[in-house]
Amino acid sequence: MIAFSNHTEYITISASTDSLRTIREFISSQIEGCGFTEFEENGIVLAVDEACANLIAHAFAHDASQSIEILVAIDDRDVRIEISDTARPFDPGTIEHPNMDDYFRERRVGGLGISLMRRVMDDVVYKPATQGQPRNTLVLTKRLAG
């Protein structure tokens, strides 16, 4: 495992599905070598991808003139990924876990992204924009082993 001393990187991307590949590559490159298994790394990348895809589709309605900021902060304890935007606030914590029996019986499509984020990450915290903080921020945290 690489020893990180408060390593922080960020990018700003367009709210376009064309940006999702860049996001996945950025997250993957940042968490590589942190000691996660390949399965855990893929889960983290997928959780961030889902969060950003939801923002792009639902909050920004594919308006590529809007932007999403992503910060990755790594220290000896955890990896913290902050996804921030200026869209209308939406707290993913208000969404209940889907009943998977109903989901499959009704042949639903989509709607599992928030549940996936909660299952993959150790903490999922939403901070809506305030007067002192003009951007909504979703904080996804994954603790490092050992």
Q: What is the CATH number of the domain that holds 126?
A: 3.30.565.10
Query: Cβ contacts of residue 144 below 8 Å, gap of 6+?
Result: 1, 34, 35, 36, 76, 77, 78, 79
What span, in angstroms and rounded, lies between the C-alpha atoms of 99 and 72?
32
Which segment of 51-55, 66-70, 80-84 scores lowest on mean pLDDT? Answer: 51-55
pLDDT of residue 10: 94
pLDDT, tens digit (0-9, with 9 covering 90-100), for 8-28 = 999 999 999 999 999 999 999
pLDDT of residue 3: 46
Would you say residue 75 lies in a domain?
yes
DSSP character at residue 130: -
pLDDT category of residue 110 using cuts at 50, 70 and 90:
low
Which segment of 35-44, 71-80, 108-117 scores lowest on mean pLDDT? Answer: 108-117
Task: Assess whether pLDDT exceeds 80 at residue 141.
Answer: yes
pTM attached to this predicted model: 0.83
Average pLDDT over residues 128-134: 87
pLDDT of residue 102: 52
Would you say residue 14 lies in a domain?
yes
Would you say residue 84 lies in a domain?
yes
pLDDT of residue 26: 98
What are 117's two structure tokens? Answer: 């984020």
Would you say residue 2 lies in a domain?
no
Would you say residue 69 lies in a domain?
yes
Would you say residue 59 lies in a domain?
yes
What is the tally of structural domains in the chain? Answer: 1
Task: Assess whether pLDDT exceeds 90 at residue 116.
Answer: no
For residue 30, what are the domain limits?
7-143
Are the C-beta atoms of residues 35 and 144 closer than 8 Å to each other?
Answer: yes
Work out the angle at residue 62's Cα, subtended by the Cα atoms of residues 92 and 57, and round it to the nearest 5 degrees: 30
What are 100's two structure tokens? Answer: 């998977």
Altogether, the residues listed in the chain come to a count of 146
Count how many Cα atoms sit within 13 Å of the Cα of residue 102 in the half-sphere of its side chain. Answer: 5
Which segment of 33-42, 79-88, 94-103 scores lowest on mean pLDDT? Answer: 94-103
Query: Cβ contacts of residue 2 below 8 Å, gap of 6+?
Result: 33, 34
Q: How far apart are the first and last CA of the chain?
A: 10
Would you say residue 1 lies in a domain?
no
Are the C-beta atoms of residues 139 and 124 closer than 8 Å to each other?
Answer: yes
Would you say residue 81 lies in a domain?
yes
Task: Assess whether pLDDT exceeds 80 at residue 32.
Answer: yes
